[in-house]
Chains A and B, each alone.
Chain A
């Protein structure tokens, strides 16, 4: 099966399009401070299970789309989970899931970012569902590929 087909990750595909000039991006569309959340599965767990965590790739893509973004601290292997993974968005333990996010939210607030970029459906769902409770109504939560699509020069 691995000989029969190729497999592409969201990161590698976006990077390939950008590097080969198949898509062109405008870095001036978003005049806000942004930050990036490392999802557990693309980052730490990919590193631990498969020997490669996708840490540099999304950050390179962010650099192509934004003038202003800062990392959360801690990040990469020491990243803090958002609380929306492992099926917690749909297992009914909502109070626990919302409380879980408190440390992540502190990290985001510390950056003052108005936009949070994530490459994971679970993280995206979690942040949008909890931002109100934590007083971050105005935080724009964006998929990494949504950011790329928003910056496309056609």
Chain B
């Protein structure tokens, strides 16, 4: 919890502050089922009931500055047991969206910016991406049963287009092989786009709907451009 919340002037509470939010936060009956069910309760003083009460009380600055919404994984276990059906996970995501973008913790917003500017979270140039894919494909082709294996990049009219998780072309290239081997064995007609291949939309985590929309539209654009029939977005 940030220090600022320790000195709250109760006379200045503005209960109406979040009135426009559609998450039913004001219907909380403070039963504590959420707090009891949450695997993160107790971490840094966090529990979901406290967070929801802060919103009901209008403590906007304190809740947005707090580390709590970023410790929560938005797993919705709390929401599943809430008798008042408060949308706790979405509430957390919307608190996250109120953070100054520069103060979003870790590399999340840097990844979003990179994706918007370059089409992927890593700023990986197209040539390097293609080199990595072909290198991994050559390794597969050396394995028994996969002779002649090739990765189909930008194949027009393919049956399936698959997006790629950035860690699979960074630190975990071995993990590219699993799906590719299955495609090969199944005789699938598949492809990977050489641009806008990023399957990880960190705007989902930072509460950035605009960024999510742009990245989804780009994948849609690849589907149209390559006239692919089905999308597999495993991330």
Residues of A at the B interface (CB closer than 8 Å) are 1, 4-10, 13-14, 17, 22-23, 40, 44-45, 48, 77-81, 83-88, 90-93, 96, 99-100, 102-104, 121, 125, 143, 145-146, 148-150, 152, 154
Contact = CB atoms under 8 A, between A and B. Distances in A.
B165 A90 contact: no
A93 B67 CA distance: 9
Contact of A96 (B71, B75, B107): B71
A45 B78 CA distance: 11
Contacts of A4: 223-224
Contact of B167 (A48, A80, A104, A125): A125
A7 B161 CA distance: 10
B129 interface: no
A121 to B, nearest CB: 5
Given A5-B228, A10-B234, A22 B187 contact: yes
Which residue among B178, B224, B229 has the maximum number of chain A CB atoms within 10 Å of its CB?
A: B178
A10 B232 CA distance: 7
Given A86-B205, A93-B71, A100-B40, A44 B105 contact: no
A87 B204 CA distance: 9
Contact of A23 (B75, B165, B182, B230): B182
Given A152-B181, A152-B185, A87 B234 contact: no
B176 to A, nearest CB: 11
A6 B159 CA distance: 9
A149 B228 CA distance: 24
B177 to A, nearest CB: 7
B74 interface: yes
Interface residues of B, number: 54
B159 to A, nearest CB: 9
A121 B179 CA distance: 13
B72 A86 contact: yes
Interface in B39-81: 39-40, 43-44, 67, 70-77, 79-80
A152 B106 contact: no
Nearest to A153: B185
Given A44-B77, A48-B76, A81-B75, A149 B179 contact: yes
Interface of B: 39-40, 43-44, 67, 70-77, 79-80, 89, 104-108, 111, 144-146, 160, 165, 167, 175, 177-179, 181-182, 185-188, 200, 202, 204-206, 220, 223-224, 228-235
Given A87-B108, A154-B145, A17 B70 contact: no
Contacts of B204: 87
Nearest to A1: B220
Contacts of A84: 73
A93 B105 CA distance: 8
Contacts of B235: 121
B5 to A, nearest CB: 18
3 A-B pairs with the lowest CB-CB distances in the bound complex, closest first? A87-B205, A154-B145, A81-B75
Q: Which of A17, A88, A143, A154 has the most CB of B within 10 A?
A: A88
Given A91-B70, A145-B182, A44 B205 contact: no
B206 A87 contact: yes
A96 B205 CA distance: 17
A40 B179 CA distance: 22
